[in-house]
A and B are shown apart, each in its own frame.
Chain A
Amino acid sequence: MKVLVVDDHTYNRDLLGFILEDHEYEYLEANNGSEAIEMVAKHDDIGIVLMDVNMPVMDGYEATRIIKSANPERYIPIVFVTALDDEETLAKCLSVGGDDFVPKPINENVLVAKVKAHQRTAHFYKELQETNQRLSYHQKLMDREHSIVEHVFQNSMKRVASDCENVRFHVSPMSMFNGDLILVAPSPSGGVYLLLGDFTGHGLSAAIGCLPVADIFYAMTQKQASISTIAAEINARLQDLLPSNMFFCAAIIEMSAAGDRLSYWVGGMNDLLVVGEQGGIEQLIQAQHMPLGVLESHEFDDATEVVSLPLNSRLFIYTDGVIESQDASGEMFGEERLHQLFSQPADSYVKRVSEAVESFSAGGEQTDDLSIAELVCAPVVLAGASQGVVQAAYEALPWNISMPLSAAELSREDVVARVIKLLGSETQFDSHMDVIFTIVSELYNNALDHGILSLDSKLKQNPEGFESYYQQRGKALSELVNGEISLNFQLSGDLLKIRITDSGNGFDYQRVVPEYDSDNDLSFGRGMHLVRSFCPFVEYSDGGRTVEAHYCLTQ
């Protein structure tokens, strides 16, 4: 750091220069205010200016004003060196931006002490400035990372396009980054899944666990997994991922399509409220379990409870943020206040509760993370969902598969399962496999049971016979030496042709295909009726040895 000495008298400059040199300060000189401005602009390392007041060309006041306003980012203390000691002069020195005075005649000790003091201040200023720069750099970095994370979060949380009209929820804006989570997904059988949870802790570190939870939730609900399985899977994953002081309080709920049956797994959550159609809390559902991510898989209890609630009951679920919201005096919202909100019926308790909490906590400390949801127990309505199966444009290549099976293969129990696995690789069958299984299974088992093994369905007339039929079948199969069944599948366009031929003696297919009577109580005789319902063309030929059925993929 250098000191700039500004004075029009050589004598004064020399005197100040000697003192500064004695104390090992480097210094530069300027003859007047104008030169001082140039010197400051040219020399970055000028840290203090000792300024005379009256000078030719430009006086010290003007020079100080210009130096200060031209270098807002530099901290350059300006110390006036003056013999004038009237109040007016001193006040003016300060008002133009000066920082201090040293009276003339100069006292060496006072001058050096003041320079040292300002040098210290300049040093702190510089450190502060550097710290500020680092902080604002990190702030920008964090803002950018937050916006990326927010994007990822939003995409991973909201992957189901359909909205379920039975579920209403409210998530306060900061909740997501604090580890609150609400997920809703339809189940393939027409029901709906709901997960509401809260990671311990706050901030992004608490929120990070939301990602695997959402992944598991969406993947498993698609497969219509049970609540137990979903809870166990999430627990296992969080056990692996989270540090031991972090865990996930959650309620996982599945409601049947008719809305009359709720299965739930609740760990570490506040009581769930069951609200009657006409308002009023009718039941509290307590958490039965510890939060997710605490117990090892082998200790984990995946037991779910099942409850049937009257039509139009509501299930209300909320995170801690609701009852822990504080008003201006620091009082908490509390369970009692919450419960009172349910004494009268409401269109949406979510709305009523979120508004009540908001007005309660107005002026209080901002508790940002609260999440609430309500589930209406009524037949599930999915808006914007593709109900049932979306039919993809048909683009398969034609193919023909023949499987000649001999006695050794026929005695295996997994023939139909194998065939289905093979056919399953044709992606155009995706939404048809369940029905194709039924068709193939019926036709194949008829060929095997009646054609090859000559079993009689009449055996199945009573429950004991039903079982002994399958025992006989198993025995006959294990002893089978001769016999062949040839399976042929042909796909062309949207038509799957299934042709099954057996080497047996034929059978009375008319009797296997009785007139169908939906009221009968027989435990057999429905197979061919099913096949005929699914296939527009079904024909037995060659005395029952061959059957051909056509299944249309666009039906």
Chain B
Amino acid sequence: MSITSRKVTDREYEISLGETFDFNCVEEFRTAYESVDDGGKKDFVIDFRATHYMDSSALGMLINMQKYWQERNTTIRIINTNPQVKKIFSISRFDKKFTIV
């Protein structure tokens, strides 16, 4: 599977993506953030270190994740984006919706 997730602390979860993050990952990605839902507040870190390829469906998936958690004041941080992927985020103004570091 190209997406892995692990518990960092009780609240913090890290989701690591594969080389390509597109519509083929829809189910896998949703499972990654829904399966850790125990009703509490969570902090997510999404690690893009391996990711080179993504398209607008990836943006959709991130929006859906945010919608799923938004009631519970959850933070979603996107880390280790390479310069080109970062550009895709900034063009889509995702840097306003998510913390991208």
Contacts and interface: CB of A to CB of B under 8 A. Distances in A.
B55 A437 contact: yes
Interface string B71-95: 0000000011111111110011100
A441 B52 CA distance: 13
Interface stretch (A166-174, A267-275, A363-371, A525-533): A525-533
Interface of B: 8, 12, 14, 16, 20, 22-24, 26-27, 30, 45, 47-50, 52-57, 59-61, 63-64, 67-68, 79-88, 91-93, 96, 101
B80 A523 contact: no
Nearest to B12: A306
B95 to A, nearest CB: 10
A522 B96 contact: no
Given A191-B80, A256-B101, A224 B50 contact: yes
A435 B52 CA distance: 9
A434 B64 contact: no
A521 interface: yes
B101 A258 contact: yes
Given A306-B14, A460-B60, A435 B80 contact: no
A257 interface: yes
A519 B81 CA distance: 22
B55 A435 contact: no
A306 B45 CA distance: 11
A466 B56 contact: no
Contacts, number: 120
B33 to A, nearest CB: 11
Contact of B93 (A258, A435, A442, A518): A518
Contacts of B61: 466, 523
A533 B81 CA distance: 19
Contacts of B16: 226
Nearest to A190: B83
A346 to B, nearest CB: 28
Given A256-B101, A442-B56, A463 B82 contact: no
Contact of A521 (B23, B56, B57, B63): B63
B56 A189 contact: no
Contacts of A534: 91
A529 B55 contact: no
Contacts of A521: 63, 67
Q: A interface, how many residues as a size bin?
A: 35 or more
Contact of A189 (B27, B60, B81): B81
Contacts of B30: 463, 467
Contacts of A87: none
Nearest to B68: A463
Nearest to B30: A467
Nearest to B6: A303
Identify which of B52, B54, B60, B88 gathers the most chain A CB atoms within 10 Å of its CB: B60
B56 A524 contact: yes
A466 B64 contact: yes
B49 A226 contact: yes
Given A224-B49, A260-B101, A261-B79, 17 more contacts: A188-B83, A189-B79, A189-B80, A225-B49, A226-B16, A256-B79, A434-B52, A434-B88, A437-B54, A438-B88, A441-B22, A445-B23, A466-B26, A518-B92, A523-B61, A523-B63, A523-B64
A187 interface: yes
A57 interface: no
Contacts of B86: 189
A437 B24 CA distance: 15
Contacts of A191: 80
A413 interface: yes
A470 B101 contact: no
A256 B80 contact: yes
In the A-B complex, the 10 residue pairs with the smallest Cβ-Cβ separation, listed nearest first, are A527-B56, A523-B60, A434-B84, A518-B93, A441-B55, A437-B53, A463-B64, A523-B63, A533-B91, A526-B56
A125 B96 CA distance: 86
A113 interface: no
8 contacts: A224-B82, A261-B101, A435-B88, A437-B55, A438-B88, A460-B60, A470-B26, A523-B59
A72 interface: no
A384 interface: no
A417 interface: yes
A163 B63 CA distance: 38
B92 A530 contact: yes
Interface in A402-461: 413, 416-417, 420, 431-435, 437-438, 441-442, 445, 460
Contacts of A473: 23
A529 B12 CA distance: 33
B80 A224 contact: yes
